[in-house]
């Protein structure tokens, strides 16, 4: 016997009125649990709503442009009766975004497996049902988490995805306008048709009206991008940039153009820290303890000592918003591009907990499972290329933060101790900062203080 069941929007955090931008299935499609049904687009990211059970789509309850919230009906799905019964718990977990509320079993393992199932990412639109279930990656260890909606890493970015209706998107596309550069004037920063028109008008007047934490128009008047037929010079292949590269590229370009960047370079002697870390790493076999967790702790100490580094300019550019919490963004390299998940309340966590969370968010980033909440609320970012190489680089400030620390590969160097050269393990640091907020002398003090924390770990206890 088949039964008709409703698929609803699960817990999507504090979002409501989220527009549907894509329908991923049609009436009559056979679908598998976790396959994406529709795509929503919040001001932070796009997200797919996964099917809570296997079945056949009988009715779609939404269309492109509809706005939905947690609990909104998405589709009616015909499921085989057996499946319907066994899927009840998973559906409950998915539709509330919490642990299955009516789970009669006391077995917590079962509960977490169930919640994990509800968290499995949806298959790609093009994937066949059988492939879809194969593609679901293993869920990382740890407690079940909300929300259960999966987010494609290719669809998320350090800052925001432009928030506009499909009609406005179409309008912008027709005019060749990059919505990432347009400021939205409607509620919650939504971009209207008039905003696009105004943007084009100001461009035509030679002053792009790009909003900035400096409060004013950028007035950038740049040469057009060179248009070259490269095929004249040899064989070529053209590939579209991934969605994440397009989104993060727009943000990076804005931040680079709008923020007066300076990069302060320094070195930290981490000889003792590394000896301690290696011991700790050997003791914690299941946990990868890398130098980065020590840097997170040192960053917290430095942010406490220099509060204007833990700050953002407000949208007028006239006030500095000082933050009393310590959330650190970590740049993670994924096959589709760079994402910056945030580890919250780092001041309240020890090295091992930070190591566990770092491992978890890095995996989620690479598995395309980060939610927008996990990428917001950052105070200061660390971009570590230390595992790869290099002696220094210029990271771009992740607006509206005011500073970012770039870390390169440590190396053994001869250091003069006053009497002789000593081999010391030196870690290169590159702090880029917003010069509107931070002066060079403060940046030098911040970086030097940061380095001291790593050199003498006892300071982190102070
Ligand atoms: N110097 C020397 N070795 C280092 C190091 C450093 N500064 N930092 C890390 N390492 C070592 C680690 O100890 C580890 O060695 P073992 O495997 O022997 O333990 C190895 O390098 C690999 O580390 P990792 O990169 O896997 O882990 P991490 O915690 O250092 O970094 C993460 C995690 C997610 C930040 C990293 O994997 C990543 O994605 N980095 C790229 C970030 C990026 O692209 N930034 C550029 C953005 S442009 O602004």
Kindly report the average pLDDT of the chain as a whole number.
81
The C-alpha angle 91, 92, 95, rounded to 5 degrees, equals: 80
Domain at 2-139, CATH class: mainly beta
Which structure tokens are listed for 66?
């509809």
**Cα 444 to middle of ligand 1, angstroms:** 24
Q: Enter the DSSP assignment of 145.
A: -
Mean pLDDT of 85-99: 46
Look at residue 234 and tell me whether its pLDDT is greater than 50.
yes
Look at residue 227 and tell me whether its pLDDT is greater than 50.
yes
pLDDT computed for residue 403 by the predictor: 98
Render pLDDT for 289-323 as a digit per residue (tens, 0 to 9): 999 999 999 999 999 999 999 999 998 999 999 99
Look at residue 90 and tell me whether its pLDDT is greater than 90.
no
Q: Is the CB of residue 396 less than 8 Å from the CB of residue 404?
A: yes
- Cis, bond preceding 147 (omega within 30 deg of 0): yes
Q: Which of 112-126, 190-204, 247-261, 448-462 has the lowest mean pLDDT?
A: 112-126
* CA–CA separation, 95 and 8 (whole Å): 6
CB-ligand 1 contact for 383 (6 Å cutoff): yes
Q: Which residues are catalytic?
A: 435
CATH number of 245-461: 3.30.559.10
**Cα 293 to middle of ligand 1, angstroms:** 11
Task: Tell me the whole-structure pTM to 2 decimals.
Answer: 0.63
Atom of ligand 1 nearest to the CA of 288: 19
pLDDT computed for residue 239 by the predictor: 94
CB-ligand 1 contact for 261 (6 Å cutoff): no
CB-ligand 1 contact for 172 (6 Å cutoff): no
| CATH pick for 162-238 out of 3.60.21.70, 1.10.645.10, 2.60.40.1080, 4.10.320.10 | 4.10.320.10
Look at residue 92 and tell me whether its pLDDT is greater than 50.
no
Q: Enter the DSSP assignment of 146.
A: S
The C-alpha angle 389, 393, 396, rounded to 5 degrees, equals: 125
Mean pLDDT of 58-78: 93
Look at residue 325 and tell me whether its pLDDT is greater than 50.
yes
Render pLDDT for 381-435 as a digit per residue (tens, 0 to 9): 999 999 999 999 999 999 999 999 999 999 999 999 999 999 999 999 999 999 9
Please state the domain extents for the chain: 2-139, 162-238, 245-461
Q: What are phi and psi of 131, to 5 degrees?
A: -70, -35
């Amino acid at each position: 016997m088949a039964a008709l069941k409703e698929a609803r929007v699960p817990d999507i955090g504090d979002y409501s009125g989220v527009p549907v931008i894509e329908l991923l299935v049609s009436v009559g499609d056979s679908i598998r649990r976790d396959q994406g049904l529709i795509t929503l687009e919040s001001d932070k990211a796009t997200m797919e709503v996964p099917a809570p059970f296997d079945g056949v789509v009988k009715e779609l309850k939404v269309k492109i442009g509809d706005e939905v919230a947690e609990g909104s009906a998405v589709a009616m799905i015909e499921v085989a009766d057996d499946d319907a019964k066994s899927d009840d718990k998973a559906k409950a977990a998915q539709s509330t975004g919490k642990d299955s509320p009516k789970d009669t079993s006391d077995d917590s393992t079962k509960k977490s497996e169930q919640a994990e199932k509800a968290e499995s990412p949806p298959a790609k639109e093009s994937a066949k049902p059988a492939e879809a279930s194969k593609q679901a990656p293993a869920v990382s260890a740890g407690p079940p988490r909300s929300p259960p909606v999966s987010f494609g890493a290719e669809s998320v970015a350090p800052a925001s995805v432009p928030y506009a209706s499909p009609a406005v998107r179409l309008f912008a596309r027709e005019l060749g306008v990059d919505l990432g550069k347009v400021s939205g004037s409607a509620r919650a920063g939504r971009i209207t048709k008039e905003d696009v028109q105004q943007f084009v008008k100001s461009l035509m007047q030679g002053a792009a009206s790009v909003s900035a934490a400096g409060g004013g128009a950028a007035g950038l008047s740049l040469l057009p991008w060179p248009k070259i037929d490269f095929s004249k010079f040899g064989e070529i292949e053209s590939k579209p940039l991934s969605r994440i590269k397009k989104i993060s590229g727009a943000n990076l370009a804005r931040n680079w153009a709008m923020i007066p960047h300076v990069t302060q370079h320094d070195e930290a002697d981490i000889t003792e820290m590394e000896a301690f870390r290696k011991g700790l790493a050997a003791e914690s076999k299941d946990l990868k303890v890398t130098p980065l967790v020590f840097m997170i702790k040192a960053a917290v100490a430095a942010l406490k000592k220099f509060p204007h580094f833990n700050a953002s300019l407000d949208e007028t550019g006239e006030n500095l918003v000082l933050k009393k919490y310590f959330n650190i963004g970590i740049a993670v390299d994924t096959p589709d591009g760079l994402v910056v998940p945030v580890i919250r309340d780092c001041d309240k966590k020890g090295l091992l907990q930070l190591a566990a969370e770092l491992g978890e968010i890095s995996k989620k980033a690479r598995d395309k499972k980060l939610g927008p909440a996990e990428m917001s609320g950052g105070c200061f970012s660390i971009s570590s290329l230390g595992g790869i190489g290099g002696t220094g680089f210029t990271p771009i400030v992740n607006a509206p933060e005011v500073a970012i620390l770039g870390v390169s590969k440590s190396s053994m160097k001869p250091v003069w101790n006053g009497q002789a050269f000593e081999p010391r393990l030196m870690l290169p640091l590159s702090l880029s900062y917003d010069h509107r907020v931070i002066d060079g002398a403060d940046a030098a003090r911040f970086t030097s203080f940061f380095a001291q924390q790593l050199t003498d770990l006892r300071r982190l206890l102070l």
